[in-house]
A and B are shown apart, each in its own frame.
Chain A
Amino acid sequence: MQVPTDPEVEARIHRLEIPFNANGVDPYGISRRHLCIAFSALRFFYRNYFTVEVRGIENVPARGRAMLIGNHSGGIAIDGAMVLASMMFEMDPPRLAQGMVEKFMNRVPFASQWSNRCGQFTGLPEHAIRLLEDERLLMVFPEGARGTAKLYKERYSLVHFGTGFMRLAMKTRTPIVPLAFLGGGEAIPTISNAYTLGKLLGVPYIPVTPYLLAIPLPVHLEVHYGAPLRFEGTGDEDDEVIAANVGRVKNTIASMLDFGARRRRGEI
């Protein structure tokens, strides 16, 4: 079946510096055809529906290993999707950010197939190390599912950051690009999360909005990329050392969020 794809997207996918074989598949199963279809859909949301504003794109390395570390914003993964889109549409040459996905996704039909074909793999340390050593661009939201479960009133706050990403970054000597995502909480104004219903459907929870369904509203979204942070070490340090480093990343993102939120309110 032929699915219409966007010519701009096709041109950008062809410029990705990924070793596709004759069938258009890379060694991890990332597929050019699937990327073209997925990013053609994302382009509409990125350019027309949400109108995403990107700042600090020059902070993302053009080549080589790097980790995008950000806050979760919005009850479903629109933050991740828009970060992927910004890497594809604003970088030159474009880059494919590869998210570290919640484990349940790989068990859900179609979500499993599409996430894998688009390079979004289960968040396992083995995957992260292999991709970084292959000089890929990783996208990690250390808040995990707790972060997407944030309610509307908590939209500019941060919950607990996992520390796994920091050990991996130190071990693989990977620069960390902090990112602040703003507006996801307005796009999906979660008032409550239905955990039991989610369990029945095989997902962590279902966000509930004032209009019940978690259909994103067409609001203005922003992604701010900060200057890369580098941490020396082996990744085998004591928890306190790692936690202090994670704290530095978290504080950087918190101040970027604070700045962005004040700017959104017109205070700056």
Chain B
Amino acid sequence: MRILIPGISGRLGQMVATRLAADGHEVAGIDRRVWKDAPPGVDVHEVDLRKRGAEEIFRKVRPEAVIHMATVTHLLVQSEDRYRINLGGTRAVFDCSRAHGVKHVIFVGRHTYYGADADSAMYHGEDEPPMALQHFPELADLVAADLYAGSALWRHPELVTTVMRMCYTLGPTGHGTLAMFLRGGRVPTILGFDPLFQFMHETDVVHALATALEKRVRGVFNVAGPQPVPLGVVIRATGRTLLPIPEALFAAALGRFGLPKLPRGALAHIKYPVTIDDSAFRKATGYRHRMSEADCMRDFSRAFPVVHHR
């Protein structure tokens, strides 16, 4: 199959491309970032997804399937840029896909769509609305991109659309929000709160995407791996030290003392869990995760051991 991957040069994009090429697919990608050592059989085009050059790639490659991974999730990027990339890019993917005969589009979304809040239930289902935006407006572009992609299900019924709301990744690449949060030796938490974190190994992310591609399932699906684990357990099991800070102090310290400058709304994500029920995806595709929560934590801490300074 001819597959086009916008966002191919990201860590997960590279892993997906490598796997699909190894499976015998023709893989091409679009990214502003360079992927120097792309394996043979993977064509990387250095263009901006929202520029005219990208449409040319669609025209030339004539992909049968598109895996859209060109979204910015970390909150350090200015929100205007994020809006342009996440929403404008997603629109471009669907416009080009329709114009050039693509049969299947996979949108890679995030489980943070549901938001974290004291009153929200565990294990969200796909039919639930995004409830926590009022506390965390910075997530609005990702939520909008997710809903826009989902609207293709009724706007373009001839196109098979799969929206995958994936939980955090944790594994040897150190890629993703949770892994970045755990990078240091001391991990700050909010005193008196210990939310569940749901994560999956990078290889399971690749496996889930390959499965969705193979089964060509239509719809919106939560995608997860093993059972969630409390943050305190993740921190200890990966060899880190818990640094509980009272909430008021934590909010004041953001952006100082080596702490990232996060929006206030992000604090809810280290106070309350976002957990998803992925049984619909498992049922529709037969997907089963292969890496346990212990595997994820072990692989991450081996790749990123804590260096103890004297």
Contact = CB atoms under 8 A, between A and B. Distances in A.
A117 interface: yes
Interface of A: 21-23, 25-29, 31, 103, 106-113, 116-117, 121-122, 124, 126-127, 130
A113 B119 contact: no
Interface in B267-283: 271-273
B197 to A, nearest CB: 10
Contacts, number: 66
Given A25-B233, A29-B196, A112-B193, A107 B118 contact: yes
A29 B228 contact: yes
Contacts of A107: 118
Say what secondary structure dominates the interface of chain A: mixed
A134 to B, nearest CB: 10
Given A27-B227, A116-B196, 16 more contacts: A21-B294, A23-B229, A23-B233, A23-B294, A26-B227, A27-B228, A28-B196, A109-B246, A109-B247, A112-B118, A112-B192, A113-B192, A113-B194, A122-B119, A122-B121, A124-B119
Interface residues of B, number: 24
A21 B119 CA distance: 26
B192 A127 contact: no
Nearest to B190: A109
A117 B232 CA distance: 11
Given A22-B294, A103-B118, A121-B122, A109 B192 contact: yes
B53 interface: no
Q: 3 closest Cβ contacts across the A-B interface?
A: A109-B192, A126-B121, A110-B192
- Most-contacted residue by chain A among B122, B228, B293, B294 (CB, 10 A): B122
A106 B119 contact: yes
Interface string B170-188: 0000000000000000000
Contacts of A110: 192
Majority secondary structure of chain B interface residues (helix, strand, loop or mixed): loop
Given A23-B237, A109-B192, A28 B119 contact: no
Contacts of B233: 23, 25, 31
A84 B303 CA distance: 43
A29 B293 contact: no
Nearest to A29: B196
Interface in B257-310: 271-273, 293-294
B213 to A, nearest CB: 28
Given A23-B237, A25-B229, A130 B122 contact: yes
B34 interface: no
B193 A109 contact: yes
Nearest to A113: B194
Nearest to B227: A27
Interface in B189-229: 190-194, 196, 227-229
Given A109-B247, A112-B193, A127 B229 contact: no
Given A103-B118, A106-B272, A109-B247, A116 B194 contact: yes
Interface in B106-142: 118-119, 121-123
